[in-house]
């Protein structure tokens, strides 16, 4: 797999990364730990060098899982983790400098490493000036405990203010064919500042794969049960997007998921999606997207068709939506 650069400070990663949240959090049933260790190592063997976790995934267990699984390959991989919540079971935000430092120290131990490759603020904390956050991570970088600074779900103004204090390597935000609001002002800001984009949920939390419809029963404890876009009515209404991906997939001898990922890869050379999975077959399917070439005509056709589709259902409940694009 070809590498891509996130930001202008030389952070090179595989064109597709692996989002690891679902290996220990959010989607029931939680899979067997030994199976996930095997999957993580299989990803490395197939060329994946970029792995995404966070303190609150579990909480704590996901970082520990990656620490064990990736220890034999530590010098070959880039591990991103995040700070910014209070925990336990994380009610509220906390990006005070002392909290950032304590999260970093704990993450280093769980990840079994002496340096965090990419350290994101998980959500912008309105109680802490972003300049203080950027300065604290900058101090950790100078101390050799962190290599690169990232933000998650930050707005364009916040990106500029943070970047002026400590260069931001990457923004992680939701971006896919059914979630495109960042195209208006955030993508131009990223291009202007030389910041990479790491789209999470690039497959619409599984919806864009075509394996989820209005009749799919989501298990108790599945995060998607709380999301307005995953009501049966919304899932039925949004099927036109899956149909679009399926049609293009038939033409390209690819799956809807592969077309959705290939579309993202074709948007900018500094975009690195991190689809998550707990299954080897899905991992291999996702990685196949890196070999799909969408022509300018294909992309124009997809964009034109998608522009005629109004996605139904809010991305998050109102209390969660307030914490994005600040």
pTM: 0.97
b/e 197-216 (16+ beta carbons within 10 angstroms → b)? bbbbbbbbbbbbbbebeeee
Q: Tell me if 110 sits within 8 A of 60, measured CB to CB.
A: yes
Question: Is 57 designated active site?
Answer: yes
Inter-axis angle of helices 239-252 and 256-267, to 10 degrees? 90
Q: Please report the pLDDT score of residue 28 as a whole number.
A: 85
Select which of 27, 57, 175, 207 is catalytic. 57
pLDDT in tens, 277-288: 999 999 999 999
Residues 6+ apart with CB under 8 A from 71: 112
Query: How does residue 270 score in pLDDT terms, banded at 50, 70 and 90?
Result: very high
Query: Tokens 């079994």 label which residue?
Result: 112
Paired with 116 in beta bridges are: 146
> Which uninterrupted H or E stretch holds 320?
helix 318-321
User: At residue 313, what are phi and psi to the nearest 5 degrees?
Assistant: 95, 135
Query: What is the pLDDT of the chain when averaged over all its residues?
Result: 96
Query: How does residue 169 score in pLDDT terms, banded at 50, 70 and 90?
Result: very high
DSSP conformational letter for 217: P
CATH of 3-321, one of 3.40.50.970, 3.40.50.720, 3.40.1180.10, 3.20.20.100: 3.20.20.100
How long is the chain? Answer: 326
């Amino acid at each position: 797999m070809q590498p891509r650069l996130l930001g202008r400070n030389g952070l090179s990663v595989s064109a597709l990364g692996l989002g690891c949240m679902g290996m220990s959090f959010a989607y029931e049933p939680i899979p067997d730990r030994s199976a996930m260790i095997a999957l993580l190592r299989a990803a490395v063997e197939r060329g994946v060098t970029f792995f995404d976790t966070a303190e609150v995934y579990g909480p704590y267990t996901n970082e520990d899982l990656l620490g064990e699984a990736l220890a034999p390959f530590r010098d070959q991989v880039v591990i991103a983790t995040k700070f910014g919540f209070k925990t336990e079971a994380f009610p509220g935000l906390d990006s005070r400098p002392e909290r950032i430092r304590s999260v970093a120290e704990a993450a280093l131990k769980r990840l079994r490493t002496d340096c965090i490759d990419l350290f994101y603020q998980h959500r912008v904390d309105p109680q802490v000036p972003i300049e203080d956050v950027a300065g604290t991570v900058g101090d950790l970088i100078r101390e050799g405990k962190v290599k690169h600074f990232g933000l998650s779900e930050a707005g364009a103004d916040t990106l500029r203010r943070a970047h002026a204090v400590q260069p931001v390597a990457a923004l992680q935000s939701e971006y896919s064919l059914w979630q495109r609001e960042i195209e208006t002002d955030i993508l131009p800001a990223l291009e202007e500042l030389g910041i990479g984009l790491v789209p999470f949920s690039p497959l619409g939390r599984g919806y864009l794969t075509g394996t989820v419809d209005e009749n799919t029963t989501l298990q108790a404890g599945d995060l998607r049960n709380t999301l307005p876009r995953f009501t049966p009515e919304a899932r039925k209404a949004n099927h036109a997007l899956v149909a679009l991906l399926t049609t293009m997939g038939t033409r390209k001898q690819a799956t809807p998921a592969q077309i959705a990922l290939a579309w993202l890869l074709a948007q900018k050379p500094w975009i690195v999606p991190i689809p998550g999975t707990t299954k080897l077959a899905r991992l291999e399917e996702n990685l196949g997207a890196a070999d799909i070439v969408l022509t300018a005509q294909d992309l124009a056709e997809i964009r034109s068709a998608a522009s005629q589709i109004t996605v139904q259902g809010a991305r998050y409940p109102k209390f969660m939506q307030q914490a994005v694009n600040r």
